Amino acid sequence: MKNNVQPSAAGHAYASSKSTTDSGKPVIAQRNSAFKGWGVKILPPLIAFVVFIGGWELIVKLLGTPAYIFPKPSDIVRAAAENFNNLMVSVWTTIVEAVLGFLLSIVLGIGGAILLASNRYIEKAIYPYAVILQTIPIVAIAPIIVIWFGAGTNAIVIISFLIGFFPMLSNTLIGLHSTDTNMLNLFTLYNASPLQTMWRLRIPAALPYIVAGLKISCTLAVVGAIVGEYVAGIGGGKGGLGYAITIAASQLQTAFLFAAGLSASVLGIGLFLIVNYLSSLLLSSWHESEMKK
C-alpha cells in the first residue's frame, strides 16, 4: 500500500509543478512578444534618425560649408543652448496663441456645424461662404485682420483660428449627416424632438469625424500662429517662433533659425499627440478605429 501511495503523491507534485511552469510560459511569451513589438516600432525610426543626423553632421563637416549657409546638427544644438531662454519664451508665446486659436476653432466649428446640420436651408445659404473663406490665402487677408484687431496677440489668434476653423466645420458637418437612417427613424418613432435627436444621436455618431477634424485643426493652428507672427507678431522679448524665425533669417543666424523651426515642429507634434490621446479616450470603448489598436 505504501508503495502505491508514494508514487501517486509524487505524480501529483510533478503534475502541479508542470502546470505551474506551463501556465507561466504564456505570460513570458506575451512579455517577449510585447518587447518585440516595441522594438519593431521604435528601433527602425531610431536607427534612421541616428543615420540621418550622423550623415548630415559628417557631410557638412567634410564639405566645410559655413554655418550661416547650412549648419550642422551640432551647430543647431549649440545655437539653441546659447539662446535657450529666448527660445523658450518664443515657444510659450506660440503655444498660447495656437491653443487659443485651436479652442476657438473647436467651439465655432462644431457650433457652426450643428447650426448648419439643423436646417438644410441655412446650410445651403451659409456653407458656400465658408468654402470661399477657406480658399482665400490667409496671407492676403492677414493685413486686414491686423487693421481690424490691431497687431499682436489678438490678430495672431484670429489668423490661427481661421486656418483651423474649416476642417472642424467640414468634418463635423459630414459626421452629423452620416447618422444611421435606421436610428433616425427609431428616434422619430419615439417622438424625439430635434434637440434630443441632435444631442443624443447625431453628435455621438459624429464623434469619429469630429476627432478627425481635431487632428487636422490642431496642427494647422500652430501653422496659423506662426504665419500670424510673421504678419502681426509682437516684437522684442515677447515674440513668438514666427517672429524669432524672421529675426534669425534677417541676421543670417541660420542655426538658430533651424532651432526655431524644429521647435515649431515639436510643438505641432505635441499638440497632435495630446489630441490623439484624447481621441483614444473618447472612442476606445466603442469605435472600431480605436478598438483595433
Give the tens place of pLDDT for each residue, 106-139: 999 999 999 999 988 999 999 999 888 888 888 8
- DSSP assigned state of 136: S
Grid coordinates of 79: 545655437
Q: Which of 16-25, 26-35, 69-78, 150-159 has the highest mean predicted lDDT (pLDDT)?
A: 69-78
134 burial via Cβ count (<10 Å: 0-12, 13-18, 19+): middle
Instruction: Establish how many alpha carbons lie within 13 A of residue 192's alpha carbon, considering only the half-sphere containing its beta carbon.
Output: 17
**271 near 218, Cβ under 8 Å?**
yes
Nearest to 108 by CA among 60, 67, 164, 47: 164
- DSSP assigned state of 202: I
**254 near 205, Cβ under 8 Å?**
no
* Close Cβ partners of 49 (under 8 Å, ≥ 6 residues apart): none
Q: Which of 8-12, 181-185, 287-291 has the highest mean predicted lDDT (pLDDT)?
A: 181-185
To the nearest whole percent, how much of the chain has pLDDT over 70?
82
CA 250 – CA 266 distance, rounded (Å)? 23
Instruction: Establish how many alpha carbons lie within 13 A of residue 197's alpha carbon, considering only the half-sphere containing its beta carbon.
Output: 20
Is residue 228 over pLDDT 70? yes
Q: Which fold has domain 73-291?
A: MetI-like fold (1.10.3720)
The whole-number average pLDDT for the span 142-147 is 86
Nearest to 248 by CA among 265, 261, 238, 263: 261
Q: Which ranges of 64-137 does DSSP label H, i.e. alpha helix?
A: 73-82, 84-118, 120-135
What own/partner pairs with CB < 8 Å and gap ≥ 24 does 178-185 have?
Answer: 178/205, 178/206, 178/209, 179/205, 179/206, 180/205
Give the tens place of pLDDT for each residue, 52-67: 999 999 999 999 888 8
Give the tens place of pLDDT for each residue, 12-35: 444 444 444 444 555 565 555 655
**165 near 109, Cβ under 8 Å?**
yes
Q: Which amino acid is at 83?
A: N
The band of 79, judged by pLDDT with boundaries at 50, 70 and 90, is very high
**Could you state, in order of their start, the residue ranges of all structural domains in the chain?**
1-64, 73-291
* Close Cβ partners of 215 (under 8 Å, ≥ 6 residues apart): 272, 275, 276, 279
Q: Which amino acid is at 284?
A: S
